[in-house]
A and B are shown apart, each in its own frame.
Chain A
Amino acid sequence: MKIVTDKAPTVDVASILTAQEIEGIHEYIHHYPHARAASLDALKLVQKRNGWVNDAQVNAIANLLDVPVTDIEGVATFFNRIYRSPVGRHVILVCDSIACYLTGYEELAAELKTTLGIEFGQTTADGRFTLLPICCLGNCDKGPSVLIDEDTFGPVSPSEVAELLEYYP
């Protein structure tokens, strides 16, 4: 197949994205003067289905917004919270910035790694959790903090890790 870099290969968008996803992306497009502006919104919307965005979905978004696929790929790989490979059912983002560093980040991260049996960037064997670092969660008066899916917690002590994880089966 010829590699086209300035235009997304034409794909059947409806076979890749759900009707609700397509409708949702169109709603975002209406917020902006140009469809391209919805690229990050579209990636985040599509990511909700499986927790990450695959190549076909990137292509479909490029088709839908009529922008080069490399541009969508550029956005997808630029942002910390767009995942281009599979993640667990729950993503744990551990703030490792200065406020949390000062208030016990290292002990908390060590406990999370031990309890989950994984390092940063890895997913547990049962596909339940992915562990990632994140820069400042803006929760600095309550460090150390973590963001699990859409919930911020802090302060979290190492002894509370096991209880915290129970809320995310």
Chain B
Amino acid sequence: MSHNEDVLTAQSDQPKKLSIAEQFARRKQGQAPSQLNSQRVPIYGDKATATIETKPLTWRLAHHDAILDLATYQSLRGFEGLKTALEKAPKEVGDMIKAANVRGRGGAGFNAGLKWTFMTPPDGGPRYLICNADEMEPGTFKDRLLMERLPFQLIEGMLITAHAIGATDGYIFIRGEYILAAERLMAAIDECLANNLMGDNILGSEFSFNLHVHTGAGRYICGEETALINCLEGRRANPRTKPPFPQVSGAWGRPTVVNNVETLSNMPAIMINDVEWYQSLPNEKGNSTTPGTKIFGCSGLVNDPGLWELPFGYTAREIIEDFAGGMKDGKRLKAWLPGGASTDFLTTEHLDVAMDFDSIQKAGSRMGTGLIMVVDESQDMVPLLKNLEIFFQRESCGFCTPCRDGLPWGVKLLTAIDDGQGQQGDVEKLEGLTRDLWLGKTFCAHAPGAMEPLMSALKYFRHEFDSKIVVPAIEVDAETSQWAESEIKKVMSSMGSGSPAASSNSSADTGSNVNSDTTAGAEAGHKTLTSNPSDVK
């Protein structure tokens, strides 16, 4: 256990890049292998504000770099929330969370307590709680922090939730690449088992609950609620039809709730501080109606990428400039994704929109996971979109045709355009894909998620796609060449007379595409077939 008294270093401090040797040594010591700026992530600002009331998710990290043993966690009000919850009836706990309006932190933002109410009534059979820890959305790395450094907080959140929904068994479905997080969670569960905080009659109550860690093996689709359940059952991770919803028929056909890591990690503080406190949290900024705090983050082309727990309502400008150290290399911001690869791009005009579910939606995107991805002016949007769509193509489960065939088609078009082989109409085909792979036309939200960045890139940066489209050269014989040359002279002559309209009419009269190009080329000075007649063969 390391104690970092200087955890709150100044904002101006730039992160120290760990050498490969340091990273390797950390991993072998069982630490996070590449904790770049661990000295001030995620506590930001005055140390005095890092209390359970102001930073309910991360305040303990102001005292320790990571809380990895039960005694330390308990010394920092650990399991107080569970004790409070166990003194209440399950319905009372559920009603509290519903009233608090804890919005799901996995991306959808649905009221977690309301989601719990859809569970069918207990019938004596098993009921499941699953923690969705399959964090694979490109640009998202917040759950990793909560699991690697605060594993007991997540477990306590799951125990409170399990009590509320009557779950008998739970699973933490964690992506296979989060090896350190899985190790630490398993160790924490074992310690809970040994201390009557897991298993039968927890803390002497009638509540019993068993928890297991289930690791994946690298598929993005496992983060989809029903695909996750299929994977848990040992099947291919294809999504299932809804309805029935998992709360009615989930894992092994039994009532099941699936919640995100960050959502569940909120529960202990709500039990300790109550609902009114949770709802008052956004008042700090006064521009958001979403209660609670959120682990916001920033990555991409900024000076100091990282994570910060903040109330809803901070703007992207504040997060990028004040917390993430501003734009890298002094370049100008071009576009940003509000919360992962499957959200719509926003631009500079949206920088002052409050970061919350409703405000970002009004701006034309989704808050998603709330981790901003910054793109600067030097980036060409076509290869950038190609990268994004290759990801979605590769990670499609292939279950439904629009996704299986549509995403590779999109990649093919983007690759052609990026390689200078794009044909006229290709950008329109991409636009068509954004309609054909939209919600309601595919089995799950994977393909629509892939279309969000593409659709918004075409909306804001369409000219970048159009400018790469090459019109094929036209072979022209000598007779046509002479005719074209004379036409050019006419056009140039008419332009010289100050009558552009005449030139347009001249082109239109011929009814020829060649002449349409003639006018445009001559006006723009482009090197086209007829702008330089000597090129004509």
Contacts and interface: CB of A to CB of B under 8 A. Distances in A.
B179 interface: yes
Nearest to B35: A142
Contacts of B395: 135
A150 B384 contact: no
Of the listed residues A101, A150, A167, the one surrounded by the most CB atoms of chain B closer than 10 A to its CB is A101
B235 A71 contact: yes
Contact of A40 (B37, B217, B341): B217
A34 B176 CA distance: 21
A44 B214 CA distance: 12
Contacts of A97: 138-139, 341, 387, 391
A22 interface: no
B135 A138 contact: yes
A25 to B, nearest CB: 12
A33 B235 contact: no
Interface in A33-75: 33-34, 36-41, 43-44, 65, 67, 71, 74-75
A99 B144 CA distance: 16
B139 A142 contact: no
A147 interface: yes
A153 B33 contact: yes
Interface string B209-232: 000101111111000000000011
Of the listed residues A34, A140, A141, A163, the one surrounded by the most CB atoms of chain B closer than 10 A to its CB is A141
A155 to B, nearest CB: 6
Interface in B11-58: 17, 19-21, 23-24, 27, 33-34, 36-37, 41
Contacts of A43: 217
B531 interface: no
A147 B305 contact: no
A102 B20 contact: no
A164 B234 contact: no
Contacts of A44: 176, 215, 217
A153 B177 CA distance: 12
Interface string B232-257: 11111100000000000000100000
Interface string A106-150: 000000000000000000000000000011111111110101001
Contacts of B237: 78-79
A141 B179 contact: no
Contacts of B135: 138
B233 A101 contact: no
Given A98-B373, A102-B300, A163-B21, A36 B177 contact: no
Given A31-B212, A98-B373, A151-B33, A40 B231 contact: yes
B323 to A, nearest CB: 12
Contacts, number: 175
B74 interface: no
A138 B178 contact: yes
A40 B17 CA distance: 36
Given A44-B215, A152-B33, A135 B235 contact: no
Contact of B175 (A41, A93, A138, A141): A138
Given A40-B216, A151-B27, A160-B20, A99 B138 contact: yes
Given A98-B391, A153-B23, A140 B305 contact: yes
A145 B34 contact: yes
Interface residues of B, number: 67
B521 to A, nearest CB: 35
Contact of A38 (B20, B218, B220, B234): B234
Contacts of B306: 141
A16 interface: no
B290 to A, nearest CB: 23
A17 B391 CA distance: 35
A142 B41 CA distance: 13
Contacts of A79: 216-219, 237
Interface residues of A, number: 53
Contacts of A96: 387, 390-391
Given A102-B301, A135-B395, A141-B307, A80 B219 contact: yes
A138 B34 contact: no
Nearest to A67: B234
B141 interface: yes
Interface string B174-195: 0111111000000000000000
B502 interface: no
Contact of A140 (B21, B140, B388): B140
A36 B233 CA distance: 7
Interface in B326-383: 337, 341, 371, 373-375, 379
Contact of A136 (B137, B143, B236, B307): B137
A167 B24 contact: yes
B299 interface: yes
A126 B70 CA distance: 46
B397 to A, nearest CB: 8
Contact of A142 (B34, B232, B397): B34
Contact of B387 (A75, A98, A142, A153): A98
B527 interface: no
Contacts of B373: 98-99, 102, 140
A82 interface: yes
B177 A137 contact: yes
B113 to A, nearest CB: 27
A98 B388 contact: yes
16 contacts: A37-B233, A43-B217, A75-B236, A97-B391, A98-B138, A98-B373, A134-B177, A135-B138, A138-B143, A138-B175, A140-B141, A141-B306, A145-B34, A152-B179, A163-B20, A167-B24
Q: Pick the 4 closest A-B CB pairs, nearest first.
A: A80-B218, A97-B138, A79-B217, A141-B305
Given A97-B387, A99-B300, 15 more contacts: A31-B212, A33-B252, A98-B373, A99-B139, A101-B387, A102-B300, A102-B373, A103-B301, A135-B218, A135-B394, A135-B395, A140-B371, A140-B373, A141-B297, A142-B305
